[in-house]
């Protein structure tokens, strides 16, 4: 589906970017980093970790996602401790510009966010109003508000066909299943204490949920809508990312400062990578004064995993060939959310 508002917004955004001297072409994919303590999103060159630009967004950018066509990024502005935000920032990537801030009104504390297949609408969880929103970024408005229940709805993942959304409830210890075609919640599955991270296998047959207070991952069968297996992890598992081939689930364990690598078919951990550095000084965050790996994203070719080290203002780069750290890049203050903008490759 075409993206209608680009015709009206892009010329102005492009002119602004040119006047500001913003670079308009990069040779490789770009890693976007949401810096929670800086109200900004950084763009890092994945060849070397160099920061290419930094864009101001709303307070507390907890999640960043990129559209399937690579033209837009959406940022959920959650707010700070004690002060809620209720907005989304929309970045037009070709012009490297924030082209719109969408006020969500009564729906504050937006957190989990995912693009729908049209690259124009997103689904967003809102903790304070206990909803899943469908927001049109072109129109700049909320199209639908779906009640998902209490217990702090936090992260969201989509089925491969985007007909279902899966929402974790941190305080409720559960996973909500939302029918996006009929705009209603159809099930709630108990998953464990502190259910937060969530990922769907490429086949759509399983949803993996990390339980940060239970130090495990629950595997939910999407047909039976029940937990079928559990896998122990490190301490405080907070996010899950799947490799593109679906072979591995990667779990960031915030309090033990590790990345757990789990074989999806065998349902067995095969490696745990330590991410804290001896003697390093870490910033104080809501979760403590520690390394605190949180956000994770896998490169499109599956060769790298990027992990946000929130307490260290860094991004760790993991080589999946041998599951070892190969680099550490500087990020902004308190990095958390990560997303990749896939750049067009020149034909040789």
pLDDT grade, residue 16 (50/70/90)? very low
Structure confidence at residue 136 as a pLDDT band (50, 70, 90): very high
pLDDT at residue 32 above 50?
yes
The contacts of residue 278 (CB under 8 Å, 6+ apart) are none
Distance CA 319, CA 63 (A): 24
pLDDT for res 344: 77
| Tokens linked to 324 | 């070892």
CA atoms lying within 13 Å on the CB side of residue 123: 26
152: left (phi over 0), alpha (psi -120 to 50) or beta: left
Average pLDDT, the chain: 92
The residue with greater pLDDT, 19 or 217, is 217
Confidence of residue 343 (pLDDT cuts 50, 70, 90): confident
- pLDDT > 90: percent of the chain: 87
pLDDT at 40 over 70: yes
The string of pLDDT tens digits covering residues 145-188 is 999 999 999 999 999 999 999 999 999 999 999 999 999 999 99
| pLDDT, tens digit, 9 for 90 and up, residues 276-295 | 998 888 988 878 789 999 99
- Do the bridges between strand 206-211 and strand 216-221 make them parallel or antiparallel, or are there none, so unpaired? antiparallel
Could you tell me how far CA 223 lies from the centroid of its own chain?
25
Predicted confidence band of residue 25 (pLDDT cuts 50, 70, 90) = low
CA of 74: how far to CAs of 101, 278, 291, in Å?
10, 35, 26
DSSP 164-218: EEEEEETTTTEEEEEETTTTEEEEEEE--TTEEEEEE-TTSSEEEEEETTTTEEE
Could you tell me which residue, 12 or 215, shows the higher pLDDT? 215
Query: What is the total residue count of the chain?
Result: 348
Neighbours of 313 (CB within 10 A): 19
Tell me the backbone φ, ψ of residue 172, rounded to 5 degrees: -85, -15
Identify the band that residue 210 occupies on the pLDDT scale cut at 50, 70 and 90. Answer: very high
* pLDDT 10s digits, 77-111: 999 989 999 999 999 999 999 999 999 999 999 99
Q: pLDDT tier at 2 (50, 70, 90 boundaries)? A: very low
Longest dimension (CA), the chain: 56
Residue 286: predicted pLDDT: 78
Q: How far apart are CA 332 and CA 314, in angstroms?
A: 7
Which pLDDT score is estimated for 304? 98
pTM above 0.85, yes or no: yes
């Amino acid at each position: 589906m075409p993206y209608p508002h680009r015709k009206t917004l892009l010329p102005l955004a492009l002119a602004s970017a040119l006047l500001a001297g913003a670079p308009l072409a990069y040779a490789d994919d770009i890693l976007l980093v949401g810096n929670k303590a800086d109200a900004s999103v950084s763009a890092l060159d994945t060849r070397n970790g160099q920061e290419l630009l930094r864009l101001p967004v709303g307070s507390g950018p907890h999640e960043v996602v990129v559209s399937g066509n690579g033209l837009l990024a959406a940022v959920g502005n959650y707010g700070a401790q004690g002060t809620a935000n209720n907005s989304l920032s929309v970045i037009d990537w070709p012009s490297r510009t924030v082209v719109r801030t969408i006020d969500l009104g009564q729906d504050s504390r937006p957190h989990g966010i995912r693009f729908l297949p049209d690259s124009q609408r997103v689904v967003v969880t809102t903790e304070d109003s206990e909803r899943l929103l469908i927001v049109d970024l072109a129109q700049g408005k909320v199209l639908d508000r779906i009640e998902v229940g209490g217990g702090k709805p936090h992260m969201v993942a989509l089925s491969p066909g985007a007909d279902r959304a899966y929402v974790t409830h941190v305080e409720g210890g559960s996973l909500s299943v939302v029918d996006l075609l009929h705009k209603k919640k159809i099930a709630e599955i108990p998953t464990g204490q502190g259910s937060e991270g969530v990922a769907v296998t490429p086949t759509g047959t399983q949803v993996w949920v990390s339980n940060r207070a239970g130090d495990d991952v629950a595997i939910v069968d999407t047909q039976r809508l029940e937990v079928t297996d559990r896998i122990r992890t490190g301490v405080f598992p907070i996010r899950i990312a799947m490799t593109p081939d679906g072979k591995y689930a990667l779990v960031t364990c915030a309090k033990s400062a590790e990345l757990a690598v789990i074989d999806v078919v065998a349902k067995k951990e095969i490696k745990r990578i330590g991410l804290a550095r001896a003697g390093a000084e870490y910033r104080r965050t809501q979760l403590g004064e520690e390394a605190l790996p949180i956000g994770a994203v896998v490169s499109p070719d599956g060769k790298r995993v990027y992990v946000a080290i929130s307490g260290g203002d860094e991004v760790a780069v993991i080589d999946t060939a041998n599951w070892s750290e190969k680099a550490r890049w500087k990020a902004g203050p308190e990095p958390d959310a990560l997303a990749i903008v896939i750049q067009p490759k020149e034909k040789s």
